Amino acid sequence: MSLWRQLTRGLRALVDCPAAERDVADEVEHFLDEATAALVAQGLSREEARRAAAVEFGNAAFVREQVREYGWENVIWSFAGDVRYGLRRLRSAPGFALVCIVTLALGIGASTAIFSAINPILFEPLPYPRASRIMMISDFGVNGSNLDVTFGTYREVSARARSFDALAVMKPWQPTLTGSAEPERL
């Protein structure tokens, strides 16, 4: 079946449910009539042919349910039913509904705030041209930890290195607030 036919059939089933039910019932009845006519042509009586066609076909209500479950509109109907059921349950327990709403609001708000803070730091590129080419040079201590590079090392690297476009020196700034109380590192 073409996509357009599936879409129009599904929309018609959603908008005009009784007409869609009549169409499915008509299709089932038409199939039984055709099967009965084929069995009558083989020599069975009309009643025997109808009974044999019904036995071969199976339960008509079950077949109608299978046809209804085939289309995409069934997903929408079941989702709408789940939403209605959830709303009925929440309406029957307003305290629980309030706790759920507040919990969801806090969770979504916290997730949004954390993502807003983390996104520019971890996921977006640095605001420098060719940011992927920026490097940091440091010395390693005996246990493998980073050591600050001395100014002499910087001068030696800048004099000998030919691979870098530019070099810069950085010193971590750790100010301490002093006053009448205990000193506090900022």
Q: What is the pLDDT of residues 11-21, one digit of tens each?
A: 777 777 787 78
The pLDDT of residue 1: 66
Tokens describing residue 114: 């954390």
pTM above 0.75, yes or no: no
Given a contact cutoff of 8 angstroms between Cβ atoms, the answer to whether 42 and 60 are in contact is no
The pLDDT of residue 109: 97
The pLDDT of residue 175: 84
Given a contact cutoff of 8 angstroms between Cβ atoms, the answer to whether 183 and 176 are in contact is yes
Low-confidence ranges of the chain (pLDDT < 70): 1
The residues, any chain, with a CB within 8 Å of residue 110's CB and separated by 6 or more, are: none
| Residues 160-174: tens digit of each pLDDT | 988 888 888 877 778
> Where do the DSSP E strands lie in the chain?
139-140, 146-147, 176-177, 184-185
Q: Helix, strand, coil % (nearest 5) of the chain? A: 65, 5, 30
Identify which of 86, 80, 122, 81 has the alpha carbon closest to the alpha carbon of residue 104: 86
